[in-house]
Amino acid sequence: MTEVVSTVASVRAAADAARVAGGTVGLVPTMGFLHAGHRSLMHAARSECDLVVVSVFVNPMQFGPNEDLDRYPRDLDGDLGACAAEGVDLVFAPGVREVYPEYPPATVVHVEGLTERLCGASRPGHFDGVTTVVAKLFAIIGPCHAYFGEKDAQQLAVVRRMALDLNLPVEVVGCPIVREPDGLALSSRNAYLTATERAVAPGIARSLRAASAAVDGGERDAAVVIGLVRAALDAIHGLDIDYVECVDADTIRPIERLGGEVLLAVAVRLGQTRLIDNVRFRLAP
């Protein structure tokens, strides 16, 4: 049975007790409104860990002043049902004051070099909010495996670097993107799309598939690959491109020739909704 707690002391005690008993702890950090992508993270945690904790917390620090904090979709009852179905042991659903005794906090975690490009350029301060709350969750839960989706590829790279740099006793686990049957990457923000926008949104994934086909065919010029994606996205009515970039998947630095671990990442706006997607290539250096 899934238990719900709202205090740091309660979730910390449960994680400590699991480790004292010789068990491992799996953490799935979320902002709620859970979908099949989140459930895939829970499933991975359940298959590998003795105690599975899902945090449900809409973190105000990672929203800019003109972003969608107030209207971000919330459904705690639905979230609890999804967690129960995946065999989650504990849901940590705190209020803002429980996570941030004083808000805004005086201490902010910043990862230099990985946060200035891609979503960091479009959403100033966003990743400081992400790393600060994730560092707090890691401190609250203690040694654990933490599961993140690869759709938020820059976030995954940033969190991994933070854990490495700060010697945090956490193994950060990346899990594959989960998509709708028509290819659209699952996101809580998909709920914002109108019927017309939802009908054209799969074109984002199709643009990445076209680029993947070119790479599979031997294309290694990043500018050419980016151009293929941009051309496909430009053909979608009502879609505005935020960015299309080829970067090193670990450092988020731009590259000119594809080789090694490559991330081809896109961000677009459909109406009022900002969507991201990506594809990874593992190529010979």
Pairing of strands 239-248, 260-270: antiparallel
Calpha distance 81→84 (Å, rounded): 5
Q: Give me the DSSP letters along 26-76.
A: EEEEE-SS--HHHHHHHHHHHHH-SEEEEEE---GGGS-TTSSTTTS---H
Contacts of 65 (CB under 8 A, 6+ apart): none
Q: Give me the DSSP letters along 135-200.
A: HHHHHHH-SEEEEEETTSHHHHHHHHHHHHHTT-SEEEEEE---B-TTSPBP-GGGGG--HHHHHH
Active site residue 43: no
User: Which of 38, 43, 126, 145 is flagged as catalytic?
Assistant: 38
Contacts of 127 (CB under 8 A, 6+ apart): 62, 110, 111, 114, 115, 119, 120, 154, 155, 158
Q: What share of the chain is helix, strand, coil (3-state, %, to 5)?
A: 40, 25, 35
Residues designated catalytic: 38
